[in-house]
Structure 1
């Protein structure tokens, strides 16, 4: 797979509630991932809708989508924390920071059973949408964070946000993790 997205820089550490509230998206440079165009307008009109079929996120645990070994390359993290925020089921890995100069991102997986990629919010630098591996994909970079949304159906998705780094770096992390999460999601 090609890189999920490209992004710009900015720094801010966001709380998990803000992390969970981030709208979907993904970012990256030439890292492996799912390509999202620089000009979202040109791709949006050509996007193929997600398959509805029988794909369901109902029994899926967000903490099973990533494991400790998969996030270890991004720094030392605390054990995952499960939470339901609104209707979204979340699992977050917060960094263990020995000092404020530590640069490990906060990472999460967020299951949204009632909002598709087209429903993602702009968190500061626009929303880009495309298709990859037969799925709708969204990217929403913002100050100090980035979210990649992976469509499961037209009305459901899984968000993979990373926060606490420069926007570009957060997008690289979110993109790389989305590549790990995407094949674990149901298909119709």
Structure 2
């Protein structure tokens, strides 16, 4: 039983160290006009956009996950008050399996993220308020603030909770710039 207690505590300590530091950089407005050469550098959603207009499947692509292996095409989902998009890794073994989701919660802010028993860590991702919560036995949630009452969730389920939280943090770095600034 002690071993089960130590793993979540070690994961929580690792998460605390990894999430408590603000990411370097200065948040900036998204350009509204095309960049030189005629192509737009604006993300899928523009600054000030209504969270209800965000397409969760447009925030992350299979190519963004290539460093983690081969993932199947995303599957749109609506579940538990969130509009989401689920990605599943093509894994040879159960130990290598990873499922992740990007969910938009239009009526739940980061302050409503519940502790699952292993604590929750608040921090920032590119200047945006974020909450990281280990979800025993093998998952992790990273919530990114979209406003006082809306958020984007990145949920990762893997065989190792530390791996799941590390992956959630890296995916947050990919998703965050595509979210509306508020």
TM-score in terms of structure 2 length: 0.72
More helix as a share of residues: 2
Verify the 8 A CA contact 2:125 2:173 in the aligned structure 1. no
1:36 aligns with 2:30: no
1:109 aligns with 2:109: no
Task: Trace 1:66-85 onto structure 2 (pairs within 5 A).
Answer: 66-85=60-79
Aligned-pair CA distance for 1:85:
1.0
1:146 aligns with 2:148: no
Verify the 8 A CA contact 1:62 1:111 in the aligned structure 2. yes
Counterpart for residue 153 of structure 2: 159
Number of aligned positions between the proteins: 147
CA distance 1:108–1:36, shift in 2 (3 Å): same
Match of 1:8 among 10, 31, 44: 10
CA distance 1:169–1:163, shift in 2 (3 Å): same
Question: Relative contact order: is structure 1 or structure 2 higher (C-alpha 8 Å, sep ≥ 6)?
Answer: 1
Higher Cα Rg, which structure: 2
2: distance between equivalents of 1:100 and 1:165? 8
Q: What SS class does the counterpart of residue 173 from structure 2 fall into?
A: helix
Counterpart for residue 50 of structure 1: none
Q: What is the alpha-carbon root mean square deviation over aligned residues? A: 2.5
